[in-house]
Amino acid sequence: MLRFILKRAGLAILVALTVSLISFSLLFLSGDPATAIAGEHASDQDVEAIRRIYGFDRPMLVQYWDWLVSALRGDFGESYYFKLPVASLIMDRLSITMTLGVCGISFALLTAVPLGVAAAIKPNSLIDRLALFLSVAGQAMPSFWFGLILIVVFSIQLGWLPPSGTATPLHFVMPTIVLGYYAMPAIMRLTRAGMLEVLSSDYIRTARAKGAPEGLVMFKHALRNAIIPVVSLAAVQMGFMLGGSIVVESIFALHGAGYLAWESISRNDLPTVQALILVFSMFYIVFTFLADVLNAWLDPRMRAG
Per-residue pLDDT, 29: 66
pLDDT tens for 109-139 read 898 888 888 888 888 888 888 888 887 877 7
CB contact at 8 A, 108 and 177: no
220 pLDDT band, cuts 50/70/90, is low
Contact 100/254 with Cβ under 8 angstroms? yes
Which DSSP string corresponds to the chain?
-HHHHHHHHHHHHHHHHHHHHHHHHHHHHTS-HHHHHH-TT--HHHHHHHHHHTTTTS-HHHHHHHHHHHHHTT---B-TTT-SBHHHHHHHHHHHHHHHHHHHHHHHHHHHHHHHHHHHHSTTSHHHHHHHHHHHHHHHS-HHHHHHHHIIIIIIIS--S-SS-SSSGGGGHHHHHHHHHHHHHHHHHHHHHHHHHHHTSHHHHHHHHTT--HHHIIIIIIHHHHTHHHHHHHHHHHHHHHHTTHHHHHHTT--SHHHHHHHHHHTT-HHHHHHHHHHHHHHHHHHHHHHHHHHHHH-GGGGG-
Would you say residue 173 has pLDDT above 80?
yes
224-245: average pLDDT: 75
Q: Please give the CATH number for the structural domain made up of 86-304.
A: 1.10.3720.10
Residue with the bigger pLDDT between 165 and 149: it is 149
Residue 31 has pLDDT above 70, yes or no: no
Mean pLDDT of the residues in the chain: 79
Q: Which residues contact 211 (CB under 8 A, 6 or more apart)?
A: none
Q: Where are the domains of the chain?
A: 86-304
- How do residues 267-295 score in pLDDT, each as one tens digit? 777 788 888 888 888 888 887 778 777 76
Q: Does the pLDDT of residue 198 top 70, yes or no?
A: yes
Which band of pLDDT confidence, cut at 50, 70 and 90, is reported for residue 235?
confident
Q: pTM here?
A: 0.74
User: What average pLDDT does the segment 51-61 reach?
Assistant: 74
For range 239-261, the mean pLDDT:
79
Cα-based distances in Å from 142 to 25, 148, 192, 196, 263: 32, 10, 24, 29, 22
In the chain, the percentage of residues whose pLDDT exceeds 90 is 0
* Cross-strand bridge partners of residue 85: 78
Work out whether the CA dihedral 119, 215, 205, 305 comes out positive or negative: positive
pLDDT at 39: 65
Q: How confident is the model at residue 171, as a pLDDT?
A: 86
Dihedral pair phi/psi, residue 167, rounded to 5°: -70, -40
The CA–CA distances, whole Å, from 58 to 9, 55, 63, 64 equal 33, 6, 7, 10
Residue 205: is its pLDDT beyond 80? Answer: no
CA distance 259 to 270: 15
Average pLDDT on 193-202 reads: 78
166, 153 contact by CB (below 8 A) = no
Reported as a pLDDT band with limits 50, 70 and 90, residue 239 is confident
CA 260/CA 203 separation, integer angstroms = 51
Comparing CA positions, the residue from 156, 302, 179, 130 lying closest to residue 229 is 302
Question: What distance in Å separates the CA atoms of residue 128 and residue 116, rounded to the nearest whole number?
Answer: 8
What is the pLDDT at residue 305? Answer: 55
